[in-house]
Amino acid sequence: MTPAIELAGVSRLFGAVRALDDVSLSIAPGEFFALLGPSGSGKTTCLRLIAGFDRPTHGKILLDGENVTAIPPFDRSVNTVFQDYALFPHMSVAENVAYGPKVRGVAEPERKRLALEVLELVRLAKLADRSPAQLSGGQKQRVALARALINKPKVLLLDEPLGALDLRLREEMQSELKAIQQQVGITFVYVTHDQGEALSMADRVAVFRDGRVEQLDSPRELYEHPRTAFVARFVGSANVVEGELAKRITGAARAFAIRAETIEVIVAGAPVPAGSLSCEGVLEDIHYHGATSRWHVRTDAGPILAAVRPEGAAPIATARGSRVRLAWSRESIVPLADA
């Protein structure tokens, strides 16, 4: 099957800065694909190149098998949902949504009908005559989505679309976006710096770091088998154990990742089951999260390890400076390629 999007050796240089450094990836039709990374990692540059707002310094971009590297945005079958929504302030909601058909020469009654149809999909048909200024953040978000979907693009690009919404609305929109994506069957390319968002929505995630793809995998693979320390920390908020501490625990200097929720906090000096790894340290602080709390323990070798402890676990000393023991099973460690 022809990939919906293919990037072949794409680089984008700004002077000496490599915003994107030899990135190759291929996105299947109908896939929900996330570009995840901290700010400045190149994920937004990558999106802008696919949209056509910018051109790569090297490499090729194929859209549905066609080389679109030099084709301007208005001739690409790609539409974008912008981070700031970019709704036209001088047009009503319906006019905003009907903009794509309008510039393509679709007559007034027909495009009005199309606009209402798409607004129905995002459940905003009754606000069609409002002006964007009268909408809430979540409603603007839906209008932006409807406006981008009306052209029936091959690929929909979403640039941190939920970044400006509050937590509850964000979670609501996440499931709604996913539902809409399944309904329309369009390839979604979703840029975000929020690993939770990427993991919960995407079929596959490309983790960006310094202009390169650090790891490209399914959310489960990324979370359970991070290949590098960066991915382990960024995606799973996992502990990365390396150097002296790794040697003390496993007997080898090879770095490994261990997720906070697999670490058990027990009384210092208590015995651990066979096949377990453990180390001891001093409790630095506890962050309360409701159902769980996150314990930060300074190990005797120096580095701090985090452990997630469910509320209601057997009570132990919680005073700062108490000695505790951290233990986990040998199977739960993930060896890392770097660090």
How open is the CA angle 263-37-334, to the nearest 5 degrees? 30
79 near another protein, rule: CB under 8 A: yes
Other Cβ atoms closer than 10 A to 7: 24
Among 147, 170, 259, 325, binds another protein (CB under 8 A): 147
Which residue has tokens 């945005």?
A: 73
C-alpha distances (whole Å) from 149 to each of 92, 105, 122, 160, 170 are 17, 17, 10, 17, 20
Cβ contacts of residue 87 below 8 Å, gap of 6+? 96, 132, 140, 143, 144, 147
Q: How far is the CB of 139 from another protein (least distance, A)?
A: 17
List the x/- string, 28-57, binding to another protein by CB under 8 A: -----------------------xxx----
Among 60, 102, 130, 294, binds another protein (CB under 8 A): 102
Among 2, 14, 55, 103, binds another protein (CB under 8 A): 103
Nearer to another protein, 99 or 295 (CB): 99
Nearer to another protein, 88 or 271 (CB): 88
Question: By CB neighbour count within 10 A (0-12 exposed, 13-18 middle, 19+ buried), where does 65 fall?
Answer: exposed
84 near another protein, rule: CB under 8 A: yes
Q: How far apart are CA 81 and CA 145, in angstroms?
A: 6
Contact yes or no for 132/141 (Cβ under 8 A): no
Question: By CB neighbour count within 10 A (0-12 exposed, 13-18 middle, 19+ buried), where does 183 fall?
Answer: exposed
14 near another protein, rule: CB under 8 A: no
Q: Dihedrals φ, ψ of 335, to 5°? A: -65, 140
Among 80, 181, 239, 299, binds another protein (CB under 8 A): 80
72 near another protein, rule: CB under 8 A: yes
Nearer to another protein, 11 or 92 (CB): 92
100 near another protein, rule: CB under 8 A: yes
Residues 229-248 that bind another protein (CB under 8 A): none
Instruction: Give residues in contact with another protein (CB under 8 A).
Output: 51-53, 72-74, 78-80, 82-84, 86-90, 99-100, 102-104, 147-148, 151
